[in-house]
Amino acid sequence: MKMLMLITGGSGRLGKELVKLYPEALHPTRQELDVTNEVQVNDYVFRHRPQAIIHTAALTNVAYCEAHRRIAYESNVVGTKNLIASMNNGSSSPCFIYISTACVFHGDVGNYVETDLPYPTNYYGLTKLLGELLVQHSKLPWTIVRTNFVAREPWPYPKAFTDRFGTYLFASDVAVALDSIIRKRLTGVLHVCGKEKMSMYELAKITTPTIKPMTLTEYHGVPLTVDMSLSSIKLKPSQISRGE
C-alpha cells in the first residue's frame, strides 16, 4: 500500500527533485500551507491526513537569517514545531523526515559523523539544530537527514571560495538517497554526503566552468563554516552526479 506523503518546500531546490520522484505526493505552495501558521497547518494535515512528512521547507540564506532572526526562527523552528504538533493530532501512523544541514556543526575540523557534537557557527545553523531537537523529542517515528547540497544550475555568484570545503551533492543526488532511506525505513540521525571532499570553487566549476576563485580573506559578513564535510557511520556516501 502506498503511503500518502506531504513534501513541504516543494518549490525549493530539494523539494522540486522530490516531487519528480513522488508525483503523487502532496506538495502545497506556501499560500496553501504556510508552516508558520499553526491554524493553517492543523487544518491542512487534518483534511489530508498524510502518513509521512518530508520537511524541506526552511529559510537557508545564512546572511538573511542572521539579519532577520525572528523571521528565521518562525520559519525554521516554529514551522517545524507546528508540523510535528499537527501530525500528532491529525494523522495515522505518521513519520517525520526532517532535512537538516552540515551547518549544525562548527565547521572548523570537518568530516563530522552522526555522533559528533553539534555547535553552530551562525544563527541559521542554530535554527536548524533547534528544529532537530524538536524532532528528536517528539512522539513521532523520525529521521533527521543532515546534508549539504546545491541545485544543478549555474553558480549564482561571480566567484566561489577555494578555502571552504564540503562533501557536496546536487539536490537530485540527495533526493535519490532520501528515496533509498524511505524505502529501507531507516530512522535516527543520518548523514547523506558525497564521496568527494571539495571546495566550493570545485563544486561551482561543475556547472559554471567560467567561475572565478576567491578566498575567505575577501569575505566580510556573518560567520561562515569553513569545513562542512560530513561522513557517516550509518550510510555509504553518494557519488555527486557530474553529468548533465
CB atoms near residue 235 (< 10 Å): 18
Residue 235 lies in a domain: no
Number of folded domains in the chain?
1
Residue 175 lies in a domain: yes
What is the pTM for the complete model shown? 0.96
Q: Domain range spanning residue 178?
A: 5-151+169-194
CA distances from 164 to 25, 89, 94, 169, 198 (A): 36, 43, 38, 15, 8
Residue 244 lies in a domain: no
State the Cα–Cα distance between residues 193 and 102, nearest whole angstrom: 9
The CATH code of the domain that includes 99 is 3.40.50.720
Digit-coded pLDDT (tens) for 126-184: 999 999 999 999 999 999 999 999 999 999 999 999 999 999 999 999 999 999 999 99
Q: Could you tell me which residue, 205 or 87, shows the higher pLDDT?
A: 205
Digit-coded pLDDT (tens) for 44-69: 999 999 999 999 999 999 999 999 99
State the Cα–Cα distance between residues 26 and 19, nearest whole angstrom: 9
SS3 of residue 233 by DSSP: coil
Cell (9 digits) for 209: 566552468
Residue 138 lies in a domain: yes
Residue 68 lies in a domain: yes
Residue 95 lies in a domain: yes
Residue 76 lies in a domain: yes
Kindly report the backbone phi and psi dihedral angles of residue 6, in degrees, each rounded to the nearest multiple of 5, phi listed first. Answer: -115, 125
Residue 49's identity, in one-letter code, is R
Residue 60 lies in a domain: yes
